[in-house]
A and B are shown apart, each in its own frame.
Chain A
Amino acid sequence: MPDSAAMLDVAGLRKRFGTLEVLRGIDLTVRPQELVFVIGPSGSGKSTLLRCCNRLEEPDEGSIRVDGVELLDPRTDINAMRRQIGMVFQSFNLYPHMTVLANITLALRKSLGKSRAEARDIGEAALARVGLADKAGAYPAQLSGGQQQRAAIARAVALEPKIMLFDEPTSALDPELVGSVLAVMRELRGAGMTMVVVSHEMRFAREAADRVVFMDAGAIVEEGPPEQIFGAPRHARTRSFLADFGG
């Protein structure tokens, strides 16, 4: 049964790469304004799960509803849906040939059809929100990793998505730059953004997550509030995974 109150409702999701079954029947519900943290060993399918949720990866089976709309329905306008599903990548993926502001306004103008002036205003507001008001005219290569990732978050936020997916947003950053990105994510959460975060920042998970989901080998092993997953994990696999992270 689809959960009508859910912002994201994944049911029976399966994905294979050739003969490798990467997602083996994922069920996951994310309610509005919830921050769900996804943890699990490398190769367990976390990225594939996120990428299916905006169809960067084409699932083989199952259902993915975003705010009630079935993403896998061929009649769904996937580009319109993607504007409502912000995605933040480990490697930022800013467009290197454009200024930071142009990175943000491109989709506003070409996909949403905003005027140049309107797009600029929205873009500047988004940059101010992530603390980069003074970097609008800079090129990505002129920014630190942390600034690049915040600009990438601004690019997604500017489209006013209903949900944001973060795939290891701080894994490519020097440790001293991680905090500035987490601060932006904290602010988004405070403003009521619905978020799914794949990350190894366990401290952040403890502090900010509503729910933690532990994945292994293409399946969700267990999920629960952070206190439970980190404090009293039920499954041996969860315990051994967390032990590797110094708990």
Chain B
Amino acid sequence: MDSSTIFLDAFLNPAVIDRYLPDILKGMVVTVEVALAVVATGIALGLALAALRSFRVRAVNAAIVLFVDVFRALPPLVVILIVYFGLPSVGITLSGFAVLWLVLSLVLAAFAEEIFWSGILSIRKGQWEAARSTGLTFVQTLVWVILPQAVRMTVPPLTNRTIAITKNSALGAVIGVPEILMQAQTAQSFSGNATPLLLGAIAYIVLFVPVVALGRWLETRFAWGRS
């Protein structure tokens, strides 16, 4: 056997591909589910917290800042392990999927809150004043005038951060969530061949390269929108 055959046999073994590709595809579906759920709840929660912070209630804002700092500081894996292995001992049992979703949502919410908040702060005071001077309430001003502008400016940094955090769905492999990496690892240990891991890598590329490209497009589209 020449070296290229050895390589192909180790990383792109046709029999292994045939046997385990369906599992990797199932893993892709789970990864997409986790990612979509995390993006939806994480960004919604982050936006809600940033909006709440703009009321500038001291105790509330202290709590938000604490939450944000803690979840930005902790490695997501640590939180996942604590929640997954810790909660059952206080009588709460969550599925691996639920834990992964919950923890990554909180992490994304923490980063998204900071990004939205800096967006809100970057809107000139005159926008608030103009809206309030026409009789709009604080909440109406926030919803119709401030947030639409703030969200627009946050699209590029938020896209990058969201991609980085949803990639952490691979941590689900540690707590038995049958996402891409878990499927690939399982297949690798059964087959004794590295091919499933390469398939897993390809699966991530197939899923995330379009998202990264979309992020770059959004960045060029929105970067100039600063006023």
Contacts and interface: CB of A to CB of B under 8 A. Distances in A.
B134 interface: yes
Contacts of A93: 124, 126-127, 129-130
Contacts of A155: 130, 134
Contacts of A91: 124, 126
Contacts of B136: 79, 106-107, 110-111
B135 A83 contact: yes
Contacts of B152: 97
B161 interface: no
A159 B134 contact: yes
A56 B132 contact: yes
B132 to A, nearest CB: 7
A72 B64 CA distance: 33
A141 interface: yes
A97 B144 CA distance: 10
Interface residues on B, range: 10 to 19
A106 B144 contact: yes
Nearest to A77: B135
Contacts of B132: 56, 82
Determine chain B's interface SS by DSSP, over half rule: helix
A96 B227 contact: yes
B211 interface: no
Interface residues on A, range: 20 to 34
Nearest to A95: B145
B140 interface: yes
Contacts of A159: 134-135
Contacts, number: 67
A159 B132 CA distance: 13
Nearest to B140: A110
A107 B145 CA distance: 11
Contacts of B144: 106, 110
Contact of A83 (B129, B130, B134, B227): B134
A154 to B, nearest CB: 12
B130 A82 contact: no
Determine chain A's interface SS by DSSP, over half rule: mixed
A85 B133 CA distance: 8
A97 B149 contact: yes
Given A93-B127, A111-B140, A87 B133 contact: yes
Given A82-B135, A110-B136, A156-B134, A56 B227 contact: no
A54 interface: yes
Nearest to B151: A97
A110 B134 CA distance: 10
Contact of B135 (A89, A96, A97, A111): A111
Given A89-B126, A89-B130, A91-B126, A107 B135 contact: yes
B192 interface: no
Nearest to B130: A93
Interface string B1-29: 00000000000000000000000000000
B137 interface: yes
B176 interface: no
Interface in B196-223: none
8 contacts: A83-B135, A89-B130, A95-B131, A106-B134, A111-B135, A111-B140, A152-B130, A159-B135
Q: Which 5 A-B pairs have the closest CB atoms?
A: A107-B134, A93-B130, A83-B135, A87-B133, A93-B126
Interface of B: 124, 126-127, 129-137, 140, 144-145, 148-149, 152, 227
Interface of A: 54, 56, 79-83, 85-87, 89, 91, 93-97, 106-107, 110-112, 141, 152, 155-156, 159
Given A83-B134, A95-B149, A152-B130, 16 more contacts: A56-B129, A56-B132, A79-B136, A80-B135, A82-B133, A87-B133, A93-B129, A94-B130, A95-B127, A95-B130, A96-B227, A106-B134, A106-B145, A110-B136, A110-B140, A111-B134
